[in-house]
Amino acid sequence: MLDILSRRDRSEIQNVRGTIKELAQLDGAFVVSDQGIVVSACRYLDAAASNVALPYGMASRHLAGASISQVTNAVAIVVSESSMVRVFDDGKLVGEIIPELWLMDHYNVQLAAPYQEEVVGDLAVLTAKA
């Protein structure tokens, strides 16, 4: 059965989206449950993983994401200041999302070959092949 949202429900969802967008501008991580619920924002996560190797050009947020994915059962999604999205699992880069296709000409893919590329509209999604 379709769940029809009231005008008030839609407004509350828009408010939550706006709040998340504003919080994303601040330093720190979002913690998201298995059900997709944001349970915490702007968090400092301390995960020391000594054998994480990052491609050249990745900074502290990438190291934090790779580390937390290695020492926990979490998948880390890191959004760079350049809007590039990188996905880490078990301390390794497993995917990249390039938000605008024109960036492909100015961007060096950091994902180790072989990888699969899928283009959806103006979005390119690169995933590691197993």
Measured distance CA(28)–CA(40) in Å, rounded:
10
Give the pair of three-digit tokens for residue 88.
């880490």
Residue 95 DSSP SS3:
strand
Q: Are the C-beta atoms of 104 and 124 separated by less than 8 Å?
A: yes
pLDDT of residue 59: 81
List the domain boundaries for the chain: 45-130
pLDDT of residue 24: 75
> What pTM, to 2 d.p., does this model score?
0.70
Q: How does the average pLDDT of the chain come out, rounded?
A: 79
pLDDT for 64 beyond 70? yes
pLDDT for 55 beyond 50? yes
| 85-105 per-position pLDDT tens digit | 889 999 999 998 887 765 665
Measured distance CA(96)–CA(74) in Å, rounded:
17
Residue (of 130, 69, 89, 80) closest to 107 by Cα position: 80
Beta bridge pairs of residue 31: 40
